[in-house]
Amino acid sequence: MSDIHNNFIDAIGNTPLIRLNGPSNETGCNILGKAEYSNPGGSIKDRAAWAIIKDSEEKNILRENGIIIEGTAGNTGIGLTLIGNSRGYKSIIVMPETQTREKIDILKYIGAELRLVPAKPYKDPNNFVKYSGRLAEEISKKNNGNVLWANQFDNVANYLGHYQTTGQEIWRQTKGKIDGFICSSGTGGTIAGVGKALKERNKNIKICLADPKGSALYNFIKFKELKSEGNSITEGIGSSRITANFSEAPIDDAFSVDDVDALTEIYKLIENEGLSLGTSSGINVAGAISLAKELGPGKTIVTMLCDKSDRYQSKLFNKDFLKEKNLPIPKWL
């Protein structure tokens, strides 16, 4: 592989695995985080964005001067817009207005046409995903059908992208010495793609879900019941439904992770290891610690470090906000 990438897309993937020393020492396991924040668009969602765009180009859905439309919590929208820019497409991004100011600003600054909508549950016709689907249908009529509704939740090109890249990278990087993989799920693409790739190589690798409070997926895996309890400040993860991507995931077990545990891990990693990570990474690392304690010492567990804390600083480093939510406050604030 050349050290020089020809363009933005060539730089997606092949992210490093980093040993998380605090969590590893605490559990006696080898806990590794895949540094997805080092993708050129700053998050794991660059992978899904490129997999979906590539698939649509191959199927001749998206052509020259095409328009990409998507409903997103932010990171997929950023990835789609940046890749779209590099390939001459316009991007229209529909996002709940409850997402962080930082992600809203990034999307504006990189040239997306941004539509902010009130946060509504999926069953509501004005939920951001359903709104984006209707918008794509409407604009498609005016643009000779040259419109891609990315539909990241139910477009299986998402999980296939992770199957073809992320899962293979993890197997190669660990030289097959991996006992468990755990991550949270928003669309289900990562856990389905990585889970399938690893299970094909070794069916004994334990594939687990780390689920924030307020999501129904933990109860679905444990008790086959789509029931949510509690709430979370995390963004882009958790779900009240089973997406087409998630339904492909070969999940063995699930852990419900509290925001207190997630933020505690985030702040410890900043202070002790110089890793400044976003909220979903906190859920993932706390989940990896729980899985490590269950599997016992000497095991190797991989999780995902999805993005960095700078996309959530108005929450993670806002003393008043944290105090109001009864969440831990980093001691340096």
Residues labelled catalytic: 45
Q: Is the C-alpha dihedral spanning 222, 228, 229, 233 positive or negative?
A: positive
Residue 173 in contact with residue 226, Cβ under 8 Å?
Answer: no
DSSP 291: H
Distance CA 166, CA 194 (A): 6
- Sequence letter at residue 74: G
Distance CA 88, CA 86 (A): 6
Length of the chain: 333
Phi and psi torsions of 197, nearest 5°: -60, -45
Helices marked H in the chain: 21-27, 45-58, 75-87, 101-109, 128-142, 157-164, 166-173, 189-201, 217-223, 259-273, 279-295, 313-316, 319-324
Q: Which residue, among 18, 19, 86, 6, has the nearest Cα to 46 in the 3D structure?
A: 86
- Sequence letter at residue 85: N
Q: Which residue, among 205, 197, 151, 156, has the nearest Cα to 177 in the 3D structure?
A: 205
